Amino acid sequence: MSFESYKNIGEVLKEYEITSSETNYIIETEIAVRESFREDLEFCLRELTFEESDYAVCETIIFPVLKELYRLDRDKFTLWSHKSLIYNEKLSGVPDYIIAKRSPLGKEVFEQPFFVVVEAKRDDFIKGWGQCLAEMVAIQKMNDQSEQQTIYGIVSNGQLWQFGKLQNNRFTKNFVAYTIYNLEQLFAALNYVFRQCELELEAMTDGCRGNS
């Protein structure tokens, strides 16, 4: 069984005894959008066809957006594309994208993940969230931070971006979704998640110092 075996979020909630709720927890944190990035994205949206290719959605919309936010935090995190993630035979697979702690040994070393992004293939957000939550559970268990760390997740078809977080056994989905056609608002939401991951990283670092 792998992440993609979960057909919906309810299967994950039941198997791992997680409670689910919806609220608007995201505090949009403004960040400038580079004009060159905006122009390139508008060109892709206008000139390329996405309906028949999940790869095109990942390569021309989702990854470039994530990379644009990540470039400001590359000293703290590493952006992984299609990196294998294995906790056990039930919680294993290849997430589309992972934001993880940057290793002092180099960008080639995979360390604690904080944030996963899943493409809603063929616009199937129901299955996408089942897969995403399963990946978030795997990260929580791998990091051994079940009570302290908040894991963040996004499901997107490129145009629509839905946000969620997992803390302990509580999953919270942000009620408001974001769209690629309001780039400033989407960037502000993504920037909030990156800032929260930074706080989580600082808390984990301080905890390690306190135990040493």
Domain architecture of the chain: domains with CATH? 3-211 (3.90.1570)
How far, in Å, CA of 114 to CA of 153, rounded? 9
Q: What is the 3-state secondary structure (H, E, C) of 159-195?
A: CEEEEEEEECCEEEEECCCEECCCHHHHHHHHHHHHH
Q: Which residues of the chain have pLDDT under 70?
A: 1, 51-52, 145-147, 206-212
Tens of pLDDT, residue by residue over 117-149, are 999 998 999 999 999 999 999 999 998 755 678
Rounded to two decimals, what is the model's pTM?
0.93
Using a pLDDT cut of 70, give the percent of the chain over it: 94
